[in-house]
Structure 1
Amino acid sequence: MDVTKKYKIKELSFSRGRKQIFENVSFDVKSAKITAIIGPSGIGKTTLLKLLSGLLEPDDGQVLFNGHHLHQLSRRALFEARKKMGMLFQSGALFTDLTVFDNVAFPLREHTDLSEAEIRTKVMDKLDAVSLADSFDLMPSELSGGMTRRAALARALSLEPDVLLYDEPFVGQDPLTKTTLVKLIDSLNKRLNVTSILVSHDVPEVMMLADYVYMLDNKTIIAHGTPEELRASQNVQVQQFLKPLEFEHLERVE
């Protein structure tokens, strides 16, 4: 097994009914790096995360996680594999009737045999990592949008996963909160040495943050490279997505 590759996706295809979402999608995700998957809204980026976590099964192709075919694992083995994945949902998906502390503690209480004292230590450590230690007793309704994302991130970290999956982490956030989240994701990735996979259509944040970027459109990967390589790409579709205002201006001039 190539230990530098956390995921290897081979010729993946997936449909919903008669609608083809992906066709022959292939890409790699390197360990301990931030890999971003960008593209227009509505092309299936969230669906792709569900395929990577084993929540959906492809029609064709393979999803290799740590060298193992994810969709050929037994139910028990798949359950164990998912413990190594932390998911930051687009909405945060916090339990509304639980405090911030209990939201973060929930996976530990469900999936470990730790004592309450040990759980408290781990929860407060994760809340401290996202600068929410002073807000442990708040309810989700008392949190701002940015605080909700950080609380959800602390919960995603609770089982100390190998991989963090981010579903549109910047959507709906103000510019200051976006900048805070970029810095937080970057610092956590470096400090915890985790593998991060981020799907987003927020170009400036992705290009500041990612080590490597794949661009999805027309059911497949149309371009990939480092942020610098994509900025220098001569592909018109890539440039239209990265610099839409420039292309809108050209269209108005014409």
Structure 2
Amino acid sequence: MADKTSPKPEKILVVDDQLSMRLTLRGILVKKGYDVTVAEDGARALEQIQKDNYRVIFMDIRMPGMNGVQTFLEMKKTRPNATVIMMTAHALEDEIKTALREGAYTVLHKPFEMDRMLALLKECLEDRPLVLVVDGNREICDALKEALEGYNYRVLFAENGEQCLDQLQQRRFQVIILDLKLPDNGLATLRDIKEMRPEAGVIVLATSATEQEALEQAMQFGTIAYLRKPFDPHMIIEILQKYLPEAPQKDG
């Protein structure tokens, strides 16, 4: 009878100049079954990522020498797809904006709840693409949810531009489906999306020919496609299958 081998634990890197933080995170993550390496500064973090491929990296922003954002940007040269969660105890608005714009998954503000950290980690380890639908029409949202989840996408929703931007601060989406006719200006929201998360693909939804000018402006922001309402939700699936390199397949 062949021995059943357990799957290898996911490798996590914790980068923080505070010893207490490194020890705390390492202890909690090891107890949860993760394989954890720690580094006390950016230089040692860069050494570690040359030695191993980490699924998720927790990176403190304010560190002596090379700060966390600088380390992240340097790391991207050799690990462009690394999933990085930034951490900070300070109000570093410019650094936070840069980190999110360059593709950090999110920023955890210290002190943070460990349950929140573990939930984020579990979310980062999901292989299914994450899609944000920004539309105030419940029927459209429900139809898109059914279609997308049927193809193994994860789906979250925002009713307006403010909720959308809040979601973008909390996590990294592969694709955003945006109604141009939001009550707080869909085109302005699109500008903010491309400023905050330029790597995200955006599909815009239009409602009538009167939006042609706004639609033309939207396409200038590098959106991947547009659809006019009403539309078959499975048209979104067709667009995603072409856009995403490893698009999931239909469930079942």
Output the TM-score relative to the length of structure 1.
0.28
Structure having the higher strand fraction is: 1
Output the TM-score relative to the length of structure 2.
0.28
Which structure: larger Rg? 2
